[in-house]
Structure 1
Amino acid sequence: MGRFLWPVLGKARYWRTIRIGGRAFLLAAAGIVGVVVGGVVTPGTGKILVDTADLQLSAWYAVLTLLQTLICLHGLVFRAAGVPFRETWPLTVPSTLITIVVATAFHDVLSPAGSISMVGALLLILVRNEWVWAVCCGIGLIALATFWLWPMPESSMPDDASIAQGAVVGIVGAVAVRATSWLALRTVELAAANAEIARLTVHQERTRISRELHDRLGHNLVSIMLRTELAERLAEGDRRQSERESRAAHLLARQTLQEMRSIAHGTLVADLDAELAAAIDLLESRGAVCQIRIGEQPEGAAAETLAWVVREAVTNILRHSQPVNCTLELVRIEDRFEFLIGNDGLLSTESVVPGHGLAGIAERVERIGGTYGAESVGDRFLLRVTLPSNSPVPEDVPADE
């Protein structure tokens, strides 16, 4: 029985569960102790003292009954910590032994119904909801059967009023034990749920920052790198154009710093028109010829998602290909928008394997109910995205954004 002093959950989890329960555990313990002291200990000890005038015997009765109570409170902590009944049922073994000792030792003075009801209090805590009241009724029937199966001496037999009073106390006590136990269990579950919500919120925020840093800053850093390389090549032949590229890289670096701050504060919103214009400018500065077909544009969540798609798609083009011809199309077909961006000059088909970039696009598109597809034929790569015209606001983005 030693391992049931602190079962598999360990001492640390045992005391952590008590700390989480806090006031609810105190109220539950006070309720259970109050029921036991008021309904079992006080009347039983008083009757033993009056009938036998043995203070030591009365003290033993009180100690054994309070030990039963401690077992009940121990079981309450186990339940709150999530230990199932199949692991906590051995607690009923010492509880039953105490019941047998009390019923045997004090049978000439007291009815064993009070001791039997203590096992019922423990089972009310340990047993799941669908069986709890069946257990309660079963314990009550066992206690009632003892009047016929194990009759008390005639001089100690309680009268009808005492039996009725004991039955009322038993019913009220059972309800009180169950109610206070339920309060403690729900409090611990609520605290655990709040801790999990906090953990998931932190994880979600980290994921958002990671995704936006990858999508936004990755694109900007690639653009800065390309513009500085171009400025370096033009430094001797076309000094004026080289200066323009250098200024553009400098402005983009300042913009990147501002965007990084916006990402940290969760206030960054992508602009579709700006992203389309920046994409065309960047591709053409790389020497690519862009064929553009931009029709009606989406609004709201779909527009912001598509802006991120454009940025990430252009970043992938510049990283993994040397494009000569690029195609950008955005059209509305009935209740959906279709965006297509394609390029030639693909350096390797391995770049088509989903990584952080393509995975990020797929995640953003699917979050608002769209579809995504990517394929390569020879040295040509094609990305196709379909978005519904009435796109819901993504769950991790506040509605007022």
Structure 2
Amino acid sequence: MKHLLWPVLGKALYWRTVRVGGRAFALAAIGIAGIVVGGVVTPGATKVLEASGSFSLSVWYAGLILLQTLICMHGLVFRAAGVPFRQTWPLIAVTTLIASFVAIVFHDAPGPAGSIAMICVLLLVLARSEWVWVVCAGIGMVSLALFLWWPMPDSSSPNTLAVVQSIVVGVVGAIAVRATAWLAARTVELAAANAEISRLTVQKERTRISRDLHDRLGHNLVSIMLRTELAERLAAVDTAQASRESKAAHVLAQQALQDMRGIAHGTLVADLDAELAAAIDLLESRGAACRIRIGEQPEGALAETLAWVVREAVTNILKHSQPVNCELELIRVGDRFEFVIANDGLLAADSAAPRHGLAGIAERVERVGGTYDADTDADGDRFELRVTLPATAPRQETGTPA
């Protein structure tokens, strides 16, 4: 019996489904119990008492119907948990046995009809196919036939009004039970969907913070390292220049602190003009000769995306090469913007190694409908990054990147 009433379903999942269903399950249980007590238990037990004159028999009848109701509630949890009908059919078998027992014991009273009707209620809860209405209608016809033609005392024979009332209660109750089961199942699905949305939202925010920390603070830290190294080398030969480099490193440290706060609060915005100027200044301070060609620039989300690209591209250059010559070009060609940044002096260990920051560049560019390409020449000495952006950003992508 334990295996029949507890199909192949972990207890943890069972109770988690009950907790997730929460108020919806409580309302469903109250609704089904109300329908059964008002439409089956009360009139059935009364008629059993009138027909047999035995209060204990009427209590037995009511108890068996309520047992079928508890099995129905059990099935409602399985339905909401997504357990297929092939695993929950034992519940139908158990309630059918109860209905058969009631039909045999209470054959002299109109009780069997109510017990057989509980099979329909359970089917309406468990079965997902719309054919369940046909099956329940068939069971209802059999129940009605037993109700009308089963041999019973004349005093308990139903009148036309009672039959009509039973049909109306049955139809309305069937619709209510089916709707209740549907509502409970949808509530569990909605709660699971909301939990998944929350999880994905947290994951997206973590990804944003991780990406921004890598792109922004990584660049600042590399810049600070380079300027402090330069200041240390110049300290003995050019104290004035060493002092300027030290001050520049201090400014970068302050900027890194502000950037960290902006990342934490999601308010960090990159400025394209500032990034282009900082990139040129940093590359030249490293001793690279820069060839620059800046034409028309994008605006809005496109400009912000390109600013992040410039920052990350320069960080990659400083980390993976010792550039002598750099090229930086931004022009508009028809309905698109083309940005190219290239450098020589690749370190031998990094000439063929993939750069982690390029994945962040690709992600940002693709989000605004652009394309991205990075390549190293045959000698492994020159690296080129090419980004193409549309002239107009997609509507859903305007604003600060997530």
TM value normalised by structure 1: 0.94
Letter in 1 for 2:390: P
Maintained 8 Å contact 1:368/1:393: no
Maintained 8 Å contact 1:124/1:135: no
**CA positional deviation for 1:13:** 2.9
* Cα distance change of structure 1 residues 82 and 398 upon mapping to structure 2, 3 Å threshold: farther
- In structure 1, the partner of 2:382 is 380
**CA positional deviation for 1:349:** 7.1
Q: Does 1:291 align with 2:294?
A: no
Q: Does 1:153 align with 2:155?
A: no
Letter in 1 for 2:170: G
* Partner secondary structure for residue 130 of structure 1: coil
**CA positional deviation for 1:241:** 0.7
* Cα distance change of structure 1 residues 313 and 173 upon mapping to structure 2, 3 Å threshold: same
Q: Does 1:55 align with 2:55?
A: yes
* Cα distance change of structure 1 residues 368 and 138 upon mapping to structure 2, 3 Å threshold: farther
The equivalences for 1:159-178 within 5 A come to: 159-178=159-178
- In structure 2, the partner of 1:28 is 28
**CA positional deviation for 1:132:** 3.6
Separation in 2 of the partners of 1:88 and 1:227?
Answer: 71
**CA positional deviation for 1:142:** 3.5
**CA positional deviation for 1:175:** 1.1
Letter in 1 for 2:109: V
The equivalences for 1:2-401 within 5 A come to: 2-110=2-110, 112-146=112-146, 151-153=150-152, 155=154, 156-348=156-348, 350-377=350-377, 378=379, 379-392=381-394
Separation in 2 of the partners of 1:352 and 1:135?
Answer: 68
Maintained 8 Å contact 1:72/1:125: yes
Maintained 8 Å contact 1:338/1:384: yes
* Cα distance change of structure 1 residues 396 and 200 upon mapping to structure 2, 3 Å threshold: farther
* Cα distance change of structure 1 residues 204 and 4 upon mapping to structure 2, 3 Å threshold: farther
Letter in 2 for 1:313: A
* Partner secondary structure for residue 20 of structure 1: helix
* Cα distance change of structure 1 residues 394 and 203 upon mapping to structure 2, 3 Å threshold: farther
Separation in 1 of the partners of 2:26 and 2:371?
Answer: 54
RMSD value over aligned CA atoms? 2.1
Separation in 1 of the partners of 2:87 and 2:351?
Answer: 53
Letter in 2 for 1:386: T
Separation in 1 of the partners of 2:399 and 2:56?
Answer: 70
**CA positional deviation for 1:394:** 5.9
* Cα distance change of structure 1 residues 24 and 307 upon mapping to structure 2, 3 Å threshold: same
**CA positional deviation for 1:207:** 0.5
Maintained 8 Å contact 1:352/1:374: no
Maintained 8 Å contact 2:269/2:304: yes
Separation in 1 of the partners of 2:400 and 2:125?
Answer: 43
5+ residue gaps, structure 1, are none
Maintained 8 Å contact 2:337/2:389: yes
Separation in 1 of the partners of 2:294 and 2:257?
Answer: 30
Separation in 2 of the partners of 1:398 and 1:33?
Answer: 53
* Cα distance change of structure 1 residues 58 and 83 upon mapping to structure 2, 3 Å threshold: same
Letter in 1 for 2:317: I
* Partner secondary structure for residue 201 of structure 2: helix
**CA positional deviation for 1:192:** 1.8
* Cα distance change of structure 1 residues 354 and 106 upon mapping to structure 2, 3 Å threshold: farther
**CA positional deviation for 1:151:** 3.1
What percentage of aligned pairs have identical amino acids? 70
Greater mean deviation of Cα atoms: 8-17 or 28-37? 8-17
Separation in 2 of the partners of 1:322 and 1:385?
Answer: 22
**CA positional deviation for 1:395:** 5.5
Greater mean deviation of Cα atoms: 340-349 or 29-38? 340-349
**CA positional deviation for 1:239:** 1.0
Separation in 2 of the partners of 1:216 and 1:169?
Answer: 68
* Partner secondary structure for residue 329 of structure 2: strand
* Partner secondary structure for residue 332 of structure 1: strand
* Cα distance change of structure 1 residues 236 and 305 upon mapping to structure 2, 3 Å threshold: same
The Cα offsets for residues 263-283 of structure 1, whole Å up to 9 and x where unpaired, read as 000000000000000000111
Maintained 8 Å contact 1:17/1:77: yes
Maintained 8 Å contact 1:320/1:348: no
**CA positional deviation for 1:147:** 5.9
Separation in 1 of the partners of 2:78 and 2:351?
Answer: 53
**CA positional deviation for 1:4:** 4.9
**CA positional deviation for 1:85:** 2.0
Maintained 8 Å contact 2:110/2:147: no
The Cα offsets for residues 303-329 of structure 1, whole Å up to 9 and x where unpaired, read as 111000001111111111111111111
Separation in 1 of the partners of 2:217 and 2:386?
Answer: 23
